[in-house]
Amino acid sequence: MKSVIATEAAADLVPDGATLLVGGFMGVGSPVRLIDALLAKGTGNLTVVCNDLALPDIAIGKLVASGQVTRAIVSHIGLNPVAQKRMIAGDLEIELVPQGTLVERIRAGGYGLGGVLTATGLGTSVEDGKQIVEVDGARFLLEKPIRGEFALIACHHADYAGNMAYVLTAHNFNPIMAMAADQVIAEADHIVPIGMISPDAVKTPGVIVDFLLERAA
């Protein structure tokens, strides 16, 4: 059985300066209660790795708007004007990574690989400062793995063993991020008895989940 903890207790686990892998695809699949708890606690100087920075009042965008995020590794920020203004002002460091490359770098971090070879970004600014590897006469960028101290993951169902099942676009990043962090904190819409989730539906096995958030009131 996994430890089921209060949202505030989960936020207390995350120190200032932590690197967080935060699930979500424009807010879908984001751990919104946990993000709100970090917002209320004021945890700062955070590095976040996520698909996007959502909107200023949605999901991870709230932490960006509050100034608690100082670095972000993301595939786009186009719908978050606060992130854009902070980047231009120089108080938010943004590393833009092509979406497919981003998820593969996280996968490499989770699976213990030394990196990913990709042709995406060759001949563009993405190439700057990166190692070029030639394979059978073709050139590839070596993209290094990404890991975090914490993965903050939302799912539709979890059981009390920590097995997790997702719906919709929450499948895109959440299962991969759960593999690439030292600790995994899961926020489930529903926590169900063991055996209620079909084994075929489990995308994140409970063995890699450290904490479950208690159910919302």
Indicate which CATH number applies to the domain containing 25: 3.40.1080.10
| Residue 141: inside a domain | no
Percentage of the chain with pLDDT > 70?
99
What are the φ/ψ torsions at residue 128 (nearest 5 degrees)?
-60, 125
Residue 197 sits in which domain range?
A: 3-113+146-213
Helix (H) or strand (E) holding 149, with range, is: strand 148-159
**Does the residue 165 lie in any domain?**
yes
> CB burial class (10 A; 0-12, 13-18, 19+) of residue 34?
buried
**Band of residue 165 on the pLDDT scale cut at 50, 70, 90:** very high
Task: Provide the whole-model pTM.
Answer: 0.94
The predicted pLDDT at position 217 comes to: 61
What is the overall mean pLDDT for the chain?
A: 95
Q: What is the tally of structural domains in the chain?
A: 1
Residue 178 in contact with residue 164, Cβ under 8 Å?
A: yes
122 inside domain? no
pLDDT at 125: 87
Query: What pLDDT is attached to residue 2?
Result: 79
Question: pLDDT digit string (tens) for 77-136?
Answer: 999 999 999 999 999 999 999 999 999 999 999 999 999 999 999 999 889 999 999 999
Asked whether residue 192 is assigned to any structural domain, the reply reads yes
